[in-house]
Every structure is written in structure tokens, then in C-alpha cells.
């Protein structure tokens, strides 16, 4: 020890440092993520345990359920395709251009996401039947397009589309936000019109987003129940989709059949989403 007077020395940073294990971090990630995964698996297992193969086959063999499966697959696919068709240009406009009133468009598009779907169904019903002079939108469409909407199959698609499209728009908007606009600008200097730059440079980069939007819109459409019940009704063999089948079976006390149909929905959803995702993987 020296006798030199003690001076205030700056604290020395200990150089020896051991970061420690990453295991607790991954354990936490695994536990939190796994708990949700477990919940979903338990839900499906509980459904399977509740019903029996006999119930499942019995439900599957009913012609009205087969009709509902067909109508569900067709309407969900149409509304998902329509959603992407509308969501792509709208998402692109919102992502790329700053214009007056954009916040208003943003807010309007969020309405179907925020509102209870049942309200959308009710609003559709009102829209088609509110008097417009001496006619209604329903009558006008029937007269000029020869199409019945309310309580008919087009109402199923419209009810699904009204909600699903908002999700497709948001997905496409995020997709275009993430695509660097520089390549598009260079395409303009190379002689492209905006439409050519969009189709040749932007759209090929947006495939992953389009697949995601298609998946989300399809899944939303499959889950739609309230607006379909209000706007399309639940007429067996006509406007009944799987979500309304579950409701109809449940309301008549056939819990086993409701669960069996739910499982059909799970299988259908997984098959379609798996197919769409594999399509996306191949495109990428």
C-alpha cells in the first residue's frame, strides 16, 4: 500500500464479463408462444373428443351439409378474390400517394374492422331496402341485373366481402409500404407508364402480400356469421354456409352435429390455407 494521498479515481469497468445463458429467454418465448398453440390444439382435441366418427360421418352425409360445404367454399373463394382485386389497388394508392382526404379514406376502411360484423349485415340490409325515390337498391339490381341479392346467395358473398376486403386492403397496404419505391421510380425513367411500372416491377414483388391478403380474406369470410345471418338468412340448401349450419344445429339442440360441422370447417380451413400457402411458397 502506498502512502500517496487517495484521489478520486474514475471507476474501472470490469473487463471480465460473461453474458450468461440464452436458455431463459428461449424458455420464455417458448412458454408464451406455446401456451396459445396449446389452447388451439386443446380446442380441436376437445371437439374431436366430444364427437364421434359416427356423428362426423352422419353430418357429412347430410345433403344440406354438403350443400353448405360447397356454398362455403365457393362464396369464400369469390369474396377472397374480390377482396384482393379491390384491396390491391386501394392498398397501393394508400401506400404510395399522399393526397388530401387520405386520412378519411383510412378511417372509412377501418370501419368494417372496428364494427361488429352483425352491424355490417344490418347496414347491408338497410342499404338494399331503404327507399330511393320510388325504388330500392334491391329492386334496381333485380330490374337491371336480374339478380336477387337479399336472402339469396349474392348476399352471402357481399356480407363476407364487406368485412374481408378491409383486411385485404390493410394487408396490401403494408405490403406496398414495405416495397421500396425506388425500383418503381427507376422503371419510370426507363420509359414506363405508371401502370407498366406497377404491373412489371411492383406487382411481382407483392406476391407474398397478395397470398397473405387472399388467405386473410378467405379466413375472414369463412368465419363470417352475423352479417350472413342478417343479410342472407340461413335457408337450408340455399343460403346456408358452414358457420350458419353450426348455429342452426346448435339452436335445434344438436350439439354433436354442431361440433361435427365445426370439425368439417377446421379441416376445410386447414386444407385451403395449406394449399394457398404452398402456392405462395412456389411463387416465391
Whether 78 contacts 158, CB under 8 Å: no
Stretch 200-239: interaction string toward other proteins, x if CB under 8 A: xx--xx----------------------------------
Q: List, as one string, the DSSP characters of 200-224.
A: IIIHHHTHHHHHHHHHHHHHHHHH-
Using CB under 8 A, which of 180, 195, 253, 282 touches other proteins? 180
- Does position 189 interact with other proteins (CB under 8 A)? The reply is yes
Least distance (Å) between residue 198 CB and other proteins: 13
Measured CA distances, 217 to 58, 160, 175, 231 (Å): 30, 9, 15, 19
Beta bridge partners of 132: 135
Least distance (Å) between residue 109 CB and other proteins: 26
Stretch 106-135: interaction string toward other proteins, x if CB under 8 A: ------------------------------
191: how many CB neighbours lie within 10 A of its CB? Answer: 8
Whether 214 contacts 81, CB under 8 Å: yes
Q: What DSSP state is assigned to residue 130?
A: S
Helix 53-61 vs helix 63-96: angle between axes, to the nearest 10 degrees? 80
Cβ-proximal residues to 259 (8 Å cutoff; 6+ apart), any chain: 47, 50, 51, 55
Stretch 241-280: interaction string toward other proteins, x if CB under 8 A: ----------------------------------------
- Does position 190 interact with other proteins (CB under 8 A)? The reply is yes
Using CB under 8 A, which of 29, 188, 255, 271 touches other proteins? 188
Least distance (Å) between residue 199 CB and other proteins: 11
- Does position 199 interact with other proteins (CB under 8 A)? The reply is no
Residues that bind other proteins (CB under 8 A): 180, 182-183, 185-193, 196, 200-201, 204-205
Amino acid at each position: 500500500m502506498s502512502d500517496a494521498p487517495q484521489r478520486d479515481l474514475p471507476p474501472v469497468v470490469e473487463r471480465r464479463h460473461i453474458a450468461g445463458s440464452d436458455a431463459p429467454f428461449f424458455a420464455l418465448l417458448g412458454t408464451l408462444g406455446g401456451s396459445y398453440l396449446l389452447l388451439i390444439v386443446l380446442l380441436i382435441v376437445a371437439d374431436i373428443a366430444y364427437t364421434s366418427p359416427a356423428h362426423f360421418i352422419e353430418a357429412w352425409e347430410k345433403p344440406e351439409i354438403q350443400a353448405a360445404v360447397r356454398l362455403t367454399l365457393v362464396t369464400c373463394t369469390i369474396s377472397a378474390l374480390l377482396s384482393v382485386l379491390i384491396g390491391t389497388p386501394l392498398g397501393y394508392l394508400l401506400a404510395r400517394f399522399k393526397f388530401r382526404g387520405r386520412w378519411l379514406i383510412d378511417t372509412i376502411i377501418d370501419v368494417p374492422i372496428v364494427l361488429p360484423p352483425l352491424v355490417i349485415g344490418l347496414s347491408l340490409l338497410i342499404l338494399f331496402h331503404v327507399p330511393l325515390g320510388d325504388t330500392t337498391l334491391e329492386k334496381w339490381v333485380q330490374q337491371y341485373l336480374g339478380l336477387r341479392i337479399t336472402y339469396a346467395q349474392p348476399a352471402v358473398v357481399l356480407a363476407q366481402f364487406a368485412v374481408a376486403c378491409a383486411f385485404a386492403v390493410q394487408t396490401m397496404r403494408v405490403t406496398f409500404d414495405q416495397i421500396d419505391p425506388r425500383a418503381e421510380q427507376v422503371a419510370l425513367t426507363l420509359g414506363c407508364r405508371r401502370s407498366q411500372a406497377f404491373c412489371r416491377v411492383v406487382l411481382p414483388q407483392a406476391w407474398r402480400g397478395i397470398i397473405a391478403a387472399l388467405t386473410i380474406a378467405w379466413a375472414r369470410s369463412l368465419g363470417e356469421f352475423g352479417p350472413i345471418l342478417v343479410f342472407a338468412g340461413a335457408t337450408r340448401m340455399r343460403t346456408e354456409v358452414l358457420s350458419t349450419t353450426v348455429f342452426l344445429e346448435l339452436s335445434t339442440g344438436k350439439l354433436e352435429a354442431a361440433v361435427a360441422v365445426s370439425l368439417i370447417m377446421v379441416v376445410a380451413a386447414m386444407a385451403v390455407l395449406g394449399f394457398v400457402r404452398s402456392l405462395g411458397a412456389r411463387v416465391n
